[in-house]
Amino acid sequence: LEELRRPVEVSGREKQRIVVARTFMRFNSGKIWFLAVDEPSSALDAEGEELLLDNLLWERAGKTIIFVTHRFGKLTKQADLIVCMKEGKIVESGSHHELIKLDGEYKKLYDIQASPFR
């Protein structure tokens, strides 16, 4: 019993998973209609990130979710609106396809991240 009372250190990844689990519980309760998350998958591995985003996207019907992220991936094609910022200012906004066609800052950043996979 004494062992259970000792503080336990958890990694950044474990802390993030705990926060995500608590957020899901509240989000799925039906009482939350707006969620803003800053780099929600930054400490997760690829599998954890995929699971997190799949669950958030599955539960988004009728809700507003704002993701702040530097990673392009699943969100780019799922987002209703993407806002691209540079030096603290909005430089472009639109869907992924609109921003790619615009051939501006968003496309430049997207191409940099996508280049290793081409």
- Give 29's pLDDT tier (boundaries 50, 70, 90): confident
What ranges do the domains of the chain cover? Answer: 1-67, 72-118
Tokens representing residue 90 in the block:
């909005």
5-17 residue pLDDT tens: 777 788 877 887 7
Burial class (CB in 10 A: 0-12, 13-18, 19+), 78: middle
Nearest to 67 by CA among 79, 55, 50, 51: 79
